[in-house]
Amino acid sequence: MPEIHVPGEVQNRAVGDDDDAGYVARCQRGDTEAFAVLVRRRQKQMINIAYRMIGDYDEACDVVQDSFLAAFRAIGKFRGDARFSTWLCGIVLNHAKTHLAQRAIRLRREGASFDDHVKSENRGLLNGICSPEESVVEQIEQRERDAKVQECIVRLEDEQREVLVLRDIQELSYEDIGIVLKLPDGTVKSRLFRARNALKECLVRVFGEL
């Protein structure tokens, strides 16, 4: 399967979850600067999640901004039953799904096709950061591959896409995914199995045999 790249992509392991707890506690005591630290620590990870769900970088940024605002308002209710990053993932996913539903309604009203929307959004990938060792041709080819992979991800059903993003891109544990999606372990695994098969089928159609 082609390697997936996103500008600024970070994995869940890049920032220590345990380190968030102190800032969360300070925020719950009214320290707004502590929440600003949490935003700086988690914004790239959350934008990656929103981008993979939505397929448009600018819209993903808007969704994450709304999600952080919702998290700030609800931080007093956070009891630490899950890690802060896990709790925040759930908020971002909910906002992303709401955004997708609203966008689908808007597109139907405007009479725009889904294919046109995806193609226009994938142009944003051309603004990505590439390795200086790559030639211009290699950079263009990689960006084109990235755009096609993301198009396949966006075409997955919502419930398949979210579990694929959380497990295969963000590398969350099955336990954390179950907490975020409020699903038993078996359901998470079965959805992931279907998501991987659906993604592979799409990639085969796009790239040929993998």
CATH 1.10.1740.10 fits 12-207, yes or no: yes
Q: At 119, is the pLDDT very low, low, confident or very high (cuts 50, 70, 90)?
A: very low
Cα three-residue angle 133-136-140, rounded to 5 degrees = 115
Quickly tell me which residue has 């969704």 as its tokens: 63
Neighbours of 109 (CB within 10 A): 8
What residue segments make up the domains of the chain, in order of their start? 12-207
Note the pLDDT of residue 110.
Answer: 83
Question: For 154-188, how does the pLDDT look when each residue is reduced to its tens digit (9 = 90+)?
Answer: 999 999 999 999 999 999 999 999 999 999 999 99
Q: Which amino acid is at 68?
A: F
Q: State the average pLDDT for the chain.
A: 83
* 17 Cβ neighbours under 8 A, 6+ residues apart: 83, 84, 85, 86
Query: How much is the average pLDDT of 116-145?
Result: 55
Neighbours of 94 (CB within 10 A): 14
**pTM value?**
0.76
Can you tell me the distance from the alpha carbon of 115 to that of 12, in angstroms, rounded to the nearest whole number?
31
